[in-house]
Amino acid sequence: MQRLDPGLIEVRSLEIVRGLLRGLDFPGPEREVAIRVVHATGDPGLAAQLRFDPGAVAEGVRGLRAGCSVFTDVEMVRAGIDRRRLANLGGEVLCLVGDPEVIREAGRAGCTRAAAAMRTFGHRLDAQVVAIGNAPTALVELCGLIELGGVRPALVVGTPVGFVGALEAKELLQQTGVPFITLPGIRGGSPIAAAIVNALLRLAERGEAG
């Protein structure tokens, strides 16, 4: 096998992905998000399944350019987000799933740590980006905070994976009235959530989509 130039691998990969998605009926900024999801997963079929609330990409980009932070459900999402780009825009990535008080709260309430973390964040999520890529329970909790507690994120990236609760959690998200990007059904995962946020960060860095 021919040795590949590390500096050209990503460039060539993105060229291939763009070719595979030629003809996909997405506006420019949404297309860039779809390209990054396919690049991160190696699955071109995911692009057409993504669902974007109208204006969601623009809202996310505006928030990131204004210095908002990204709140995640699990450390895998946090680890996958480009913290350098986010810091350059004035934000940070926060995850409380391993926080001792959150762990105690989860035990007291009989819920998952990811759900307890969302509850603990509460109104700190207002006007911020929330990225949930693993735990359907975190997305259900967030939807409850939005509906009953008046919490209002700038954007929710909701792509939890699983056979129990993931499909239903994403359906709830689409009914909240909050800008969202999601992947309906049981498919999803932390790499997808991180890829979406990283695509938004690149757009924000370039001053596009808002």
What does each C-alpha distance from 25 to 28, 49, 50, 150 come to in angstroms? 9, 12, 12, 34
> In this structure, are residues 70 and 85 in contact, taking their beta carbons and an 8 Å threshold?
no
> In this structure, are residues 139 and 168 in contact, taking their beta carbons and an 8 Å threshold?
no
Does residue 94 form part of some domain? Answer: yes
pLDDT of residue 7 exceeding 80: no
Going by pLDDT thresholds of 50, 70 and 90, the confidence category of residue 19 is confident
| Amino acid 12: pLDDT | 83
Locate tokens 């990969």: which residue? 13
Does residue 196 form part of some domain? Answer: yes
CATH number of the domain at 34, please.
3.40.50.10230
Does residue 48 form part of some domain? Answer: yes
pLDDT of residue 25 exceeding 80: no
pLDDT of residue 134 exceeding 70: yes
139-171 residue pLDDT tens: 999 999 999 989 999 999 999 999 999 999 999
Residue 111 tokens, joined: 């819920």
Does residue 138 form part of some domain? Answer: yes
77-120 residue pLDDT tens: 999 999 999 999 999 999 999 999 999 999 999 999 999 999 99
pLDDT of residue 125 exceeding 90: yes
Single out the residue of 39, 22, 33 nearest to residue 64, CA to CA. 33
Alpha-carbon span 67 to 72, nearest angstrom: 16
pLDDT of residue 5 exceeding 80: no
pLDDT of residue 3 exceeding 70: no
According to DSSP, residue 123 is labeled G
| Amino acid 2: pLDDT | 60
- Structural domain including 119 reads 6-206
**CA neighbours within 13 Å on the CB side: how many for 112?**
16
> Quick count: other Cβ atoms within 10 Å of Cβ 83?
15
Does residue 1 form part of some domain? Answer: no
Going by pLDDT thresholds of 50, 70 and 90, the confidence category of residue 210 is low
Which residues are within 8 A (CB) of 97 and not within 5 positions of it... i.e. 6 or more apart? 73, 74, 75, 113, 114, 117
The whole-number average pLDDT for the span 10-37 is 85
44-75 residue pLDDT tens: 999 999 999 999 999 999 999 999 999 999 99
Alpha-carbon span 173 to 158, nearest angstrom: 8
Alpha-carbon span 177 to 199, nearest angstrom: 23
pLDDT of residue 1 exceeding 60: no
Burial 106-138 (b: 16+ CB within 10 A, else e): beeeebbbbbbbbbebeeebeebbbbbbbbbbb
Does residue 97 form part of some domain? Answer: yes
Residues known to be catalytic: 39
| Amino acid 104: pLDDT | 97
| Amino acid 107: pLDDT | 97
Does residue 165 form part of some domain? Answer: yes
166-207 residue pLDDT tens: 999 999 999 999 999 999 999 999 999 999 999 999 999 988
How many domains is the chain partitioned into structurally? 1
According to DSSP, residue 175 is labeled T
Alpha-carbon span 107 to 110, nearest angstrom: 5
